[in-house]
Amino acid sequence: EILTALQKEISTDEDSPVPVLLCGDFNSNLETGVFEYLSKGFVSADHPDWTRNASGDIKLDLAHNLHFGSATPDDTVPYTNFVHEFEGVLDHIFFDRRKFSKSSVVPMPSREVVTEHVALPSICAPSDHLALVVDLDWKS
């Protein structure tokens, strides 16, 4: 519903004055349909996530035209969540590629630091998620 509302309010025109940043804990790693949908603008009906739902009968082609780029589609961020039996990127920053470019990502703490107290949360990090911080440049 949020993306539908954004698409109604924001012109897909290059000259649209409204840049969009969508940030949060999506509980979705880089291989999920959620990440594919937001970062690529499309997820197909044959994506494996559709078969993971309880009934198994929901299969949709979904698309949007919001031109999102992702701050985390590469190995510069190995994890934003690190708990006893899981580590991965669950937190994301999506940005309007027409208005912003990614210039840098603040590195995550090393594996040694994160595992010093077994996992997160810990004395060093009070949450089971690490802050994802990215520098974005305005495009002229």
> Does 15 participate in catalysis according to the annotation?
no
Closest CA to 129 of 72, 67, 74: 72
Which tokens is 76 given? Answer: 């510069």
In the numeric block, the tokens 């010093």 are attached to 116
Question: Is 72 within 8 Å of 41 (Cβ atoms)?
Answer: no
Question: Is 35 within 8 Å of 92 (Cβ atoms)?
Answer: yes
Q: Given the residues 25, 57, 75, 96, select the one marked as catalytic.
A: 25
List, by residue number, the catalytic residues: 25
